[in-house]
């Protein structure tokens, strides 16, 4: 990660979208990978609930990066069983953008660190 870069939480990113829209940011949250899509939700949000709750959560950032799931599988062991392949603390550095439908996403991802049981997994993105 970029140590000089400020880290914001998912709720902070959502609240400060007017100031952060279009900028490279580091967001800390819970990485959630259900059957489709990759999301970052608030660390305090319970992800053990139904998949519908995670899909419908307004407090989420979609991670839009080609091949992201494949990179995760190659670098971080997936959880076995349950509705999520991943549900781990993560730090993601990418460009925060507001989509036309009003949702927010992180694109142009340049760094991803997954933290599980004290171990850090770094996923590199060459640009």
Architecture of domain 7-124: Beta Barrel (2.40)
d(Cα 78, Cα 62) in Å, to the nearest integer? Answer: 19
Q: What is the pLDDT of residues 58-107, one digit of tens each?
A: 678 999 999 999 999 999 998 877 778 898 999 999 999 998 877 789 99
* CB 29, CB 93: distance < 8 Å: no
d(Cα 7, Cα 113) in Å, to the nearest integer? Answer: 13
Give 3: exposed, middle or buried? Use CB within 10 Å, 0-12, 13-18, 19+.
exposed
d(Cα 55, Cα 36) in Å, to the nearest integer? Answer: 10
Instruction: Say if residue 4's pLDDT is above 50.
Output: no
State what percent of residues in the chain have pLDDT above 90.
49
Q: What is the mean pLDDT of residues 14-27?
A: 91
**Structural domain spans, the chain:** 7-124
């Amino acid at each position: 990660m970029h140590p000089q870069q400020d880290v914001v939480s998912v709720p902070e990113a959502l609240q400060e979208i007017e100031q952060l829209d279009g900028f490279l940011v580091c967001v800390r949250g819970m990485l959630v990978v259900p059957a489709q899509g990759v999301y970052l939700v608030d660390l305090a949000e319970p992800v053990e609930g139904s998949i519908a709750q995670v899909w419908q959560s307004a407090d989420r950032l979609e991670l839009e990066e080609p091949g992201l799931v494949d990179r995760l599988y190659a670098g971080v062991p997936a959880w076995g069983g349950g509705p999520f392949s991943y549900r781990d603390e993560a730090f993601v550095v990418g460009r925060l953008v507001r989509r036309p439908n009003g949702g927010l996403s992180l694109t142009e991802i340049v760094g991803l660190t997954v933290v599980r049981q004290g171990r850090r997994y770094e996923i590199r993105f060459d640009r």
